[in-house]
Amino acid sequence: MPADTRTARTIRRRLVVIAAAVLIVLVAAVSTGVSAYVFPAVAAPPARADVIYVIGPPTEGRIALAEQLRRAGVADDILISVPTDGEQSAANLSVCQRAFVSCVHPEPFTTAGEMSLLNERYGAGTRAVVITFTPHVSRTRFIAARCADPQVTVIAAPTSLDLGRWMYQFAYQTGGFAKALIVGCP
């Protein structure tokens, strides 16, 4: 067999092995992402907590779930993470005018910053129900486990995303996990 033929076969074989390895890594990443972002473990809210915490952005669905949990007697207080200005700021959300609701802007305005705000307002030995949306549940749990002093139960408000938004969330949440590993808690 000529040397050129052996070299070509060796190159093809290496390319097949590399392609198979890339495919395996890709399948593993997608399956991990699907279980973490699309179908995170479902947690039931505790029977009683000290606060129901809506983390940003404060969407109608998240606020409605917080109010539903409050009516069910889970907690008396609702804490909402809000931006400093815009439609979702404390000045523009009518829910922020209610006596049992505190709307506060965390610094930094990140999930870790939101856990830091939770620590400032509620210490160790307290319980918080944190409301976010489905793609953010796993990362919120991860950051809460590392950064929050209170015992945190993370639940998702109903989420409806099209395929493009799911793909965006897959990339965004993966980047957020990487950042959480590198940066840590504020």
pLDDT in tens, 148-168: 999 999 999 988 999 999 999
Mean pLDDT, residues 116-139? 96
Nearest Cα to Cα of residue 155 among 173, 139, 137 = 137
Cα 175 to its chain centre, rounded Å, is 11
Output helix, strand, coil percentages for the chain, rounded to the nearest 5. Answer: 55, 15, 30
Please, where are the H alpha helices in the chain? Answer: 3-33, 60-71, 111-121, 137-147, 163-183
Cα 151 to its chain centre, rounded Å, is 16
Asked if residue 36 has pLDDT above 80, the reply is: no
* pLDDT (0 to 100) of residue 2: 66
Single-letter amino acid code for the residue at 110: T
Q: Which fold has domain 51-183?
A: Rossmann fold (3.40.50)
20's tokens? 């198979």
Asked if residue 17 has pLDDT above 90, the reply is: no
Domain ranges of the chain: 51-183
